[in-house]
Amino acid sequence: MAETNLQILLKRRPVGAPLEADFDIVETPVPEPGDGQVLVRARYLSLDPYMRGRMADAKSYAKPVALGAVMEGQTAGEVVASRHPGFKPGDIVLGGYGWQRFSVVGPERLFKVPEADPPLSSSLGVLGMPGLTAWTGLEDIGQPKAGETVVVSAASGAVGQVVGQIAKIRGCKVVGVAGGAKKCDFVVKELGFDACLDHHGDLEAQLDAAAPEGIDVYWENVGGKTQAAVFPRFRDFGRMVMCGMIAQYNEAPGADASGAPPGPNLGPVVRKRLRIQGFIVSDSGWSRYATFRSEMEGWIRAGRLRWREDVVEDLRNAPRAFIGLLKGENFGKLVVRID
């Protein structure tokens, strides 16, 4: 039996939380690389919250996935055929090849990465887009200084776990926020955060106990009630790194949505001289990938940076895993092992 391509398509745009029926799983012929292209067989697919935005047709920083098109996403895989002199079969590459087993890509979308040490899947997590997000957001916006207090939401997630550990390396006190005792235990015992608060409890009281001095840097992954609890607790000159607001990805229809829930009154921004700043890693992050990777690999070798992955087997399970990601059901960086 000849190999086929397995692809996951966007069937219809979700209303609220995505359903498995919003996706199509299809088998198609393996594509042929054209001149200057390579054929990549993906080994791992990264699942990330931003993908919810691509499923909607609201105006945003990136175009939506078209109905009937392959879902967007980063994969790490192996070159299996090449018509480009820079790549040969067996090369391990990283790129945005979508939710599919095989893809044909040009060299502008190929990053060569090591196959092992650290293992390949890390190039989709701690050493991939989520890690780069953490590193650039702290470098450019959070700018944590030794002795400051940093609060990280979604602390056990792909980005949060890296944010907190870099802040620890920078000499900060780091308080995570996560869902449930198991995640919080991991964040404190394995990742070395100073504390981790369960957002199912009374976050305001927990914050007052864990950070009575107030908050210098808040890493925003979630929005909602965590944002509401953190916002009044900033110290003067606090910084709020706006990475995402997963709590409302299934609610707010889009960029200028009038249906979105209100946010905090901005009075404290003046009085406390706060800075609230958003960023998208793809704007400029990849141009600094080599510097990022070298610094991160140094910390990994020194045993200062750990991570946890939540590996789902079989590409066919990607829709269900992605739906769970938006509910916080994953524990660590969510990746799909494709075969």
Residues that bind a second copy (CB under 8 A): 53, 60-61, 220, 223, 227, 232, 236, 242-245, 248, 252, 255-258, 260-280, 283
- Minimum CB separation of residue 197 from a second copy in Å reads 19
| Dist. CA 18–CA 231, nearest whole Å | 29
Nearer to a second copy by Cβ, of 80 and 280: the residue is 280
Query: What would the two tokens of residue 251 be?
Result: 């609610």
Nearer to a second copy by Cβ, of 50 and 289: the residue is 50
Exposure pattern of 281-308 as b/e (b: 16+ CB <10 Å)?
beeebeebbeebbebbbebbeeeebebb
Short-list 93, 86, 164, 95, CA closest to 131: 164
With contact defined as beta carbons under 8 Å apart, do 150 and 71 qualify?
no
- Minimum CB separation of residue 9 from a second copy in Å reads 25
- Minimum CB separation of residue 141 from a second copy in Å reads 9
- Among positive and negative, which fits the CA dihedral 29, 33, 37, 41? positive
Nearer to a second copy by Cβ, of 200 and 273: the residue is 273
Half-sphere exposure at residue 40, Cβ-oriented, CA atoms within 13 angstroms = 32
Nearer to a second copy by Cβ, of 85 and 267: the residue is 267
- Minimum CB separation of residue 240 from a second copy in Å reads 8
Nearer to a second copy by Cβ, of 134 and 276: the residue is 276
- Minimum CB separation of residue 205 from a second copy in Å reads 15
With contact defined as beta carbons under 8 Å apart, do 191 and 309 qualify?
no
**3-state DSSP of 11-34:** CCCCCCCCCHHHEEEEEEECCCCC
Nearer to a second copy by Cβ, of 1 and 270: the residue is 270
- Minimum CB separation of residue 48 from a second copy in Å reads 14
